[in-house]
Structure 1
């Protein structure tokens, strides 16, 4: 296993060694994307000009993929087959395809086809699965880990330097805090700063505060994630910060009510179908499914339904129809969702 930043550097070295199957996965989507882009460039330089992409979800037909990999024309370009498998669950047939592909390609001197699998975060059970172990043994595994704390501050400084800007420590820390550790958001903000300031400009904390838009929406996303994953203290810290920054209580209540309604809907669907089908019918993105899984393991349908009463009480307080402090009750609701 190799980390995403190290892998990106490796692809840029002469003689980059291609493996028949490579897995890129992790919690940081920016580095999953950057790793995939770097790999595409490296493979293109070695003659892999054709690229085919498959979305692996639901009732994916692995037999069709098997036939496709065998139907190679004599004069066909070298090609990349990309399998987007967000949940990291290939199933029995998918696991067999992965192991068989690796075994078949092990003796091939000049690879004509390379398979690249991308996933979101994998848990310990998945990394112990036979398909994962086979890739680790015979292919290559690239992990995209979250960047936090001082490492995130340093990342902001390095990324700024890449686009011709200089960030002092305070400015980089302010940027990291405003985007709540979201690298995609940080990257976007730095790109904007590159357009606002001349090359070589030294940016201060005041420049960041004046130029970087209020990232309350990123904090809302972070609040949702923390609640669903059961990170109670972190969720309450985010809520307190939102209150301090002047975010209106109805917006927070909208978020909490939306997540509650989704939890209730999934719990109801789960009584007649499996989770995968429920998520698909309710259009819950794969990136949120692990968070919902964590919440659903903590409480049942009746519990989530009981919290709607508290949400309604907060709504009455916001509208002046009931006495009480809506922020106190919002804290209580965040606590009860995340506990």
Structure 2
């Protein structure tokens, strides 16, 4: 049995989703001759550490009943520096200002020679090149499928299945909250404010929705694609960004009557980084509704390849993290 020892740094929705997925997939992993042993879990109030492997069911129960998993007063950096393990699963909240704890955690993990799997967009949107260089210099693996599109496997699709193709452009809906609001505005012929309130009531939009509705989240994901796929050295500040808060139902109805739906589209190619509302023909592959994400990858050999999936959700995002973990474990044994 191949054992991969991991820490989960950040035990909010995504971190808990990772724990749930590992528990759910134990038999599947065993069939792959793989055991994922979680030796540390850290949240904002402390940590649980057990080098023999944490009981994840009990950790989840304690988090949900007490609001913290903490049994000892240790930080993510303490765990990364001092607890022997193979992979740091970094799922702390995104910080677009300076990268926050996530950036510090990833850089320290690479200094310690540990691999990193992350869902945290902020550090990659600000310091992608620095992170990749740090990983390369320490011989660490760096996987971040979960940062773009949740369960929609766009990075691994491009790097794996579409290897050998030149990627000419990527267009897509990269934020499920905006897509939900725009879908509902058209369905109900209702205002942005009304449908934002509905999205917040359903837990689809945050109490402070700025990050989503002003296009910041989509722009961060676009930067990650620009750097990882096109080899750019872009940051969030390089993206031309327009959000959805100024869109009216009247304009959407007029467009619909002409055969178009209004969508927040991100586009990257070698001379363009842009997030903005656009008119998409009804029935076009990019005209998906509700909270779905979609990306259309234009290639030189395969033509356009379009992929759709759930762009958010703790289990959906955790599925991408699990995929990256399995990929790392296979590389360890080659």
Normalised-by-shorter TM-score class: 0.3 to 0.5
- State the TM-score, normalized to the length of structure 1: 0.32
- State the TM-score, normalized to the length of structure 2: 0.32
Greater C-alpha radius of gyration:
1
Q: Report the structure, 1 or 2, having the larger strand content.
A: 2
Larger RCO (alpha carbons 8 Å, 6+ apart): 2
Q: Report the structure, 1 or 2, having the larger helix content.
A: 1
